[in-house]
Amino acid sequence: MNDSDKLLILKKLLLAEDRDFANGILQKLESLENTVNIEENLSEKVNPIIDKKIEDFVALMPKKLGPTITEALDFQIKNSQDKVVDALFPIIGKMIKKYIQQEMKILSDNINNQVQSTFSVSGIKSKAKSMFKGESKKKRIFDELSNSKIEQIFIVEKGSGALLSSTSNDDSIDDDMVAGMLTAIKSFVEDAFAKKNQSLELIQYELYNIYIQNFNTYYIAVVISGVFDATFKNNLENKLFDFATYHIKNDLSNGIYLSEKLQELLNHE
């Protein structure tokens, strides 16, 4: 065998190794391409890694993110106290009212039970006597004449006295002027008495009562005709708390929306 034959054999051996190496790389590339382009194959490879990362993240999240979240909440509360108070005030107010109402109901039930057990016979006689005298009819007539009715509602910004929204069945009244007047009276009374954390709640004007529900950055003034008793006040407070919770939600800029909702409150009273 001469040198040429030996060189030819060597070339064949070398080319065969290169060809086998190239084919191996090509097969790996085809396998990788199938893994990347076919969703099922990719999911089999990637999903276990993602699941493991999520498990590790959930386990470490309280320790890693807890202080950061707490710090962010503290910063947000300190810099948005008005919004936080306005959001929580209706909810906390209703909780307090419900607690007081429940305690008053328990007290009332106890009193009624004791009165009924002690004066049941005399009570029946008194009721029968009033029926014969026509007192029940008189009471019905009196109740009809003393019905309470909401005449106007104002939402006013504290401090500036700017009218944020209002509704009324009487278009002849200047709502902005009324809002400014109410704020002036409210500020005068509160400054004059200088009682800490106390706000003006009620203004009586001849046959009208102006009830003021105070919030942190604004207040709602309701003009009422008729008798303004405890029952009516309690129902009105609940409606105003609901209104603040479901319709204001820290956004006092949409005056048209608030006006529409105030009109609904006025019409459905």
What's residue 39's pLDDT?
78
Separation CA 179–CA 201 (nearest Å): 15
Q: Tokens for 48?
A: 């276990």
Ordered per-residue pLDDT tens for the chain, 269 residues = 666 666 666 666 666 666 777 777 878 888 778 777 887 877 887 888 888 888 888 888 777 777 887 787 777 767 776 776 676 667 677 677 667 766 766 776 776 666 666 555 555 555 555 555 555 555 554 554 457 788 889 999 888 888 888 888 776 667 888 888 888 888 888 777 766 667 788 888 777 889 999 888 889 999 888 878 888 888 888 888 888 888 776 567 777 788 888 888 877 76
Q: Tokens for 39?
A: 């969703």
| Strand ranges of the sheet holding 202-205, from the earlier edge strand across to the other edge | 163-168, 149-157, 218-225, 208-214, 202-205
Q: What ranges in the chain are assigned the alpha helix state H?
A: 3-37, 39-79, 81-132, 135-145, 175-193, 230-243, 255-267
Separation CA 141–CA 224 (nearest Å): 20
What's residue 177's pLDDT?
82
Q: Tokens for 167?
A: 């509704």
For 67, the 3-state DSSP assignment is helix
The CATH code that applies to domain 148-267 is: 3.30.450.70
Q: Which residues pair with 220 in a beta bridge?
A: 155, 213
What's residue 132's pLDDT?
57
Q: Tokens for 209?
A: 């009562």
- Map out the domains of the chain as residue ranges: 3-72, 148-267
Q: Which residues pair with 214 in a beta bridge?
A: 219
Cβ-defined contacts of 184-193 (< 8 Å, 24+): 186/212, 186/219
